[in-house]
C-alpha cells in the first residue's frame, strides 16, 4: 500500500453528514479519494497525526475508478501455462530474509527447498505429537516441529493423500514453492513417500488472525494492528494474483501473524494457478469455507481471482466488526447479509467492534469499509482487482 488514509480520529465523523457530502458519485460508480501522509510502515511505529479527506475523481485507494472493471480479454491473456507463470516470479526483488523482532525467527534463504523423508518429519514433530498440533488446515492437520539444524517448521498432513497422485502433488509443490513474498508463508519442501503427502512450511510465531480476533482473546486486537494486518493481507493476495495463483480459502484462520503483526497468507493446500483451475473447469466441488465463499463460486464451483477478492472483503468485515461469519449476534444471518444494509445506509458506527469503538480512526474506518463494500459486490466484475486494492 503506498498510502493509508488516516488521522488523529478527531473532528466530526464523516458519516454524521449525508453520503452525498462524503462521496462524489459519477453515473457509473462512486468516486472518491482518501489522502493521508500516514504510510503503511508508520502505522506500526507512530501515532497518526493529520489527514485530509477530499472528494475527487479517484477511488478510495487512489486508483482511477475507470480502471476498476477488469477487461475480460486482458484476463484471458493472463492465463498462461504454468511454466510461463513460474518464469515470471522474481522473488529477489520483493522477498526479504525478514525476522520477527520479538522472537528473532529468521526466514530461510530464497530458493531453499528440499524433499523431506517421512522419518525426518516424524522426528521433527516428535511423532506428530498432540502437544505439537497447531491447527486443522483445509486439507488436514498442521503440526509444529523443528529440524536438526534448528529451523522451526509447520508440517501439514493431507487427509486424502491416497487420492492425490505423485505427479499432481509434485506439480502443486512446484507451483507453491515458487511463491516468495514477505506476506506469504514460505513453502520449504514436501514429502511424498508411499501414501504420505505432507507440505513443510516456515513456522509463523504468533498464531492466526482468528485467534487474535476471538472474543476469548485476553488481549483484544487494537485498531492499528488491524489496519496493518489488512494491508499485509492485501499485499500477499495481490502478489499471488499477479502470479496467477488463486488462494481459494481466504479466511482469518489462514492469515498468520508474527509478533510485529506482519500478516502472512498460509494454507496453500487449496491453491491453484489460474491456468490449472481453468483445466479443472468441469469440477463443481467448492473447497473454500462457508461464510467466505462468493455467490458465483458456491453456484458453479469455479474459483477465480474475483472469488478470492470476495473472501478478502469478508475478512475486512471481520477486522472491522470483530464478529465471526456465523456469530450469535447476527441472529441467524451470515456476516455479509447482516452488514449489507448497514453498508448501504452508511451506518458505519454500528459495524465497529465494541472493543475498539473508542480507539479507531474514523477516516481509516471509512476507507476500510468502502474497500470491503467494493470487494463484496454481488457482481464479480464490479469487485476491485487486488492490484487496485493495494499498490505494493
Could you give the count of Cα atoms lying within 13 Å of 250 in the half-sphere of its Cβ? 33
Q: Which of 3, 61, 16 is nearest to 374 (CA)?
A: 61
181-185, 227-231, 290-294 — most confident range: 227-231
Residue-wise pLDDT for 36-60, tens only, equals 333 444 434 433 333 332 333 323 3
Q: What pLDDT score was predicted for residue 75?
A: 44
The dihedral through the CA atoms of 49, 54, 59, 62 has a sign that is negative
- Note the pTM of the prediction, 2 decimals: 0.74
What are the distances in angstroms from CA 268 to CA 70, 123, 132, 172, 265?
A: 25, 24, 20, 9, 8
The answer to whether 365 and 322 are in contact (CB under 8 A) is no
Q: Catalytic one among 115, 249, 260, 361?
A: 249
The Cα 201–Cα 334 span in angstroms is: 32
Chain-centroid distance of CA 335 in Å reads 17
118-143 burial string, b = 16+ CB within 10 Å, else e?
eebbbebbeebeeebebbebbbbebb
Residue-wise pLDDT for 73-109, tens only, equals 444 444 344 334 434 444 443 445 666 888 877 777 6
The Cα 388–Cα 266 span in angstroms is: 22
Domain annotation for the chain: domains and CATH numbers = 83-202 (3.30.200.20), 207-389 (1.10.510.10)
Q: For this structure, is 249 an active site residue? A: yes
List, in sequence order, the alpha helices (H) in the chain. 19-22, 40-45, 72-78, 82-87, 91-94, 118-124, 166-177, 209-213, 223-242, 274-279, 295-300, 305-321, 335-345, 362-375, 386-389
User: How does DSSP classify residue 268?
Assistant: G
Residue-wise pLDDT for 246-257, tens only, equals 998 899 999 999
Separation of first and last alpha carbons in the chain = 5
- Lookup result for grid cell 496467477: 244
Residue-wise pLDDT for 333-353, tens only, equals 999 999 999 999 999 999 999
Chain-centroid distance of CA 187 in Å reads 17
| pLDDT-above-70 percentage for the chain | 66
**Averaged pLDDT of the chain:** 75
Amino acid at each position: 500500500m503506498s498510502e493509508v488514509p488516516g488521522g488523529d480520529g478527531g473532528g466530526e465523523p464523516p458519516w454524521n453528514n449525508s453520503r452525498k457530502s462524503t462521496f462524489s458519485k459519477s453515473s457509473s460508480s462512486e468516486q472518491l479519494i482518501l489522502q493521508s501522509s500516514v504510510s503503511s510502515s508508520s502505522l506500526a511505529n507512530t501515532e497518526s497525526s493529520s489527514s485530509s479527506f477530499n472528494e475527487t475523481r479517484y477511488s478510495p485507494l487512489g486508483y482511477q475508478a475507470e480502471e476498476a472493471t477488469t477487461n475480460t480479454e486482458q484476463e484471458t491473456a493472463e492465463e498462461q501455462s504454468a511454466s510461463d507463470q513460474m518464469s515470471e516470479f522474481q522473488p529477489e526483488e520483493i522477498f526479504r530474509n525478514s525476522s520477527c523482532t520479538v522472537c528473532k525467527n529468521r526466514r530461510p534463504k530464497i530458493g531453499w527447498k528440499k524433499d523431506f523423508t517421512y522419518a525426518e518429519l516424524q522426528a521433527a514433530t516428535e511423532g506428530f505429537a498432540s502437544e505439537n498440533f497447531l491447527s486443522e488446515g483445509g486439507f488436514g492437520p498442521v503440526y509444529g516441529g523443528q529440524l536438526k539444524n534448528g529451523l522451526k517448521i509447520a508440517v501439514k498432513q493431507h487427509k486424502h493423500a491416497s487420492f492425490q497422485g505423485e505427479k499432481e502433488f509434485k506439480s502443486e509443490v512446484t507451483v507453491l514453492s515458487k511463491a516468495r513474498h514477505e506476506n506469504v508463508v514460505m513453502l520449504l519442501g514436501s514429502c511424498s513417500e508411499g501414501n504420505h503427502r505432507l507440505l513443510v512450511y516456515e513456522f509463523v510465531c504468533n498464531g492466526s488472525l482468528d485467534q487474535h480476533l476471538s472474543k476469548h482473546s485476553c488481549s483484544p486486537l487494537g485498531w492499528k494492528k488491524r489496519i496493518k494486518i489488512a494491508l499485509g493481507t492485501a499485499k500477499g493476495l495481490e502478489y499471488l494474483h499477479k502470479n496467477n495463483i488463486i488462494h481459494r480459502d481466504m479466511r482469518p484462520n489462514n492469515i498468520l501473524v508474527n509478533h510485529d503483526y506482519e500478516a502472512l497468507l498460509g494454507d496453500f493446500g487449496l491453491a491453484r494457478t489460474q491456468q490449472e483451475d481453468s483445466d479443472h473447469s468441469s469440477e463443481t466441488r467448492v473447497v473454500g469455507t462457508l461464510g467466505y465463499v462468493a455467490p458465483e463460486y458456491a453456484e458453479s464451483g469455479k474459483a477465480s481471482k474475483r472469488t478470492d477478492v470476495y473472501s478478502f472483503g469478508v475478512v475486512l468485515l471481520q477486522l472491522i466488526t470483530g464478529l465471526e461469519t456465523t456469530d450469535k449476534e447476527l441472529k441467524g444471518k451470515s456476516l455479509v447479509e447482516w452488514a449489507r444494509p448497514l453498508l448501504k445506509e452508511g451506518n458505519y458506527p454500528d459495524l465497529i467492534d465494541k472493543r475498539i469503538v473508542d480507539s479507531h480512526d474514523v477516516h481509516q474506518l471509512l476507507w476500510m469499509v468502502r474497500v470491503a463494500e467494493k470487494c463484496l459486490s454481488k457482481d464479480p466484475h464490479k469487485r476491485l482487482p487486488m492490484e487496485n486494492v493495494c499498490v505494493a
